[in-house]
Amino acid sequence: MKTTIIAAILLIAGAITYIVVPTKKNSNMNFRQRVTKVFYPLIMKLSPSNSLTNVGDHQVKPIVDFYTLNAQLIDGTVLNFSTLKGKKIMLVNTASDCGFTAQYEALENLYQQHKDSLVIIGFPANDFGNQEKYSNEKIAGFCKKNYGVTFPLAAKAVVVSNKNQHPVYQWLTDASRNGWNHQSPTWNFCKYLIDEKGTLVGFYNSSVQPEEVLVSVCYHSGL
């Protein structure tokens, strides 16, 4: 009993120290970012795991070819989606100050495990809670230093449905383009999955872990 209590105290003390006292490893994280990283497991535990997930028998051929799209990356280069044919693609709207920001680590792990057959593209966006207010340069540095991100990041963009919405998200959220789905992102770190033929497979809410996408019914063909 005493051992358990001591371990709990040490764990809490370590968490508080990580949050309050910046270290070399987290020196470019602000207070909020350190708090959310420490408490991310609790955030995930309290979040409904499959709310607003929109998947099923939606193997409908897109009306607008997905591979005609492109995205300017955070380093200024352009990624033409035609170069991604034959791979599954996960598109995620991201933010640096969100309770789900620690999903960057899970996304990077997934990418490293399956990058021969899976591409992950992050779309930093300030559309929810003013949680991505930084410049492209600062976002890139934050992701690399704190989460080791190597998967492509797009330049900061708008992902919600309005006149400034990024063309990729216009395609993802408009059934007259993708063939069946109207669901827009509901918060940061929502995921859309595209199969090897450029067909939209499904929408996954923020609380669905990246690795959980792999075991969804529509994605169970494997990597």
| pLDDT digits 0-9 by tens, 98-143 | 999 999 999 999 999 999 999 999 999 999 999 999 999 999 999 9
> Do 33 and 115 sit in the same domain of this protein?
no
pLDDT of 18 over the 90 cut: no
pLDDT of residue 7: 40
Report the distance separating Cα 44 and Cα 57, nearest Å. 28
Do 153 and 116 belong together in one domain?
yes
Residue with tokens 């929408």: 203
Amino acid of residue 90: M
Neighbouring-strand partners of residue 119: 89
Is residue 138, in this structure, part of any structural domain at all? yes
Tokens of 157: 């963009």
Tokens of 134: 């930084």
Q: Do 159 and 182 sit in the same domain of this protein?
A: yes
Confidence check: pLDDT of 216 > 70: no
- The answer to the question of residue 45 being in a domain is no
Neighbours of 78 (CB within 10 A): 9
Q: What pLDDT is attached to residue 214?
A: 76
> By the 8 A CB rule, do 198 and 66 touch?
yes
Q: Is residue 43 part of a domain?
A: no
Number of structural domains, the chain? 2
Q: Which domain holds residue 22?
A: 1-38
pLDDT at position 22 over 70? no
The answer to whether residues 176 and 110 belong to one domain is yes
Return the pLDDT at 213. 87
Indicate if 159 and 213 belong to the same structural domain: yes
Distance in angstroms (rounded) separating the CA atoms of residues 186 and 116: 30
| Residues 66 and 132 grouped into a single domain | yes
Query: Using one digit for the tens of pLDDT, what is the confidence trace for 137-162?
Result: 999 999 999 999 999 999 999 999 99
Q: Are residues 72 and 10 located together in one domain of the fold?
A: no
Same domain, 75 and 126: yes
CATH number, domain containing residue 74: 3.40.30.10
Tell me the two tokens of residue 193.
């999955």
Q: What is the pLDDT of residue 14?
A: 41
Q: In angstroms, what CA-CA distances link 16 with 9, 34, 48?
A: 10, 10, 27
Tell me whether residue 45 is exposed, middle or buried, using C-beta atoms within 10 angstroms of its C-beta: 0 to 12, 13 to 18, 19 or more: exposed
pLDDT tens digits for 36-90? 656 545 555 566 555 567 775 557 899 999 999 999 999 999 999 999 999 999 9
pLDDT at 55: 73
Query: Is 118 a member of any domain?
Result: yes
Q: At what angle do helices 31-38 and 2-20 cross, to 10 degrees?
A: 150
Residues 79 and 147 in one domain: yes
Q: Which residues are catalytic?
A: 98
d(Cα 150, Cα 107) in Å, to the nearest integer? 10
Local confidence band at 17 (pLDDT 50, 70, 90 cut-offs): very low
pLDDT at residue number 12: 42
Nearest to 192 by CA among 75, 43, 45, 54: 54
Both tokens assigned to 6 = 């001591």
pLDDT for position 53? 74
pLDDT in tens, 180-198: 999 999 999 999 999 999 9
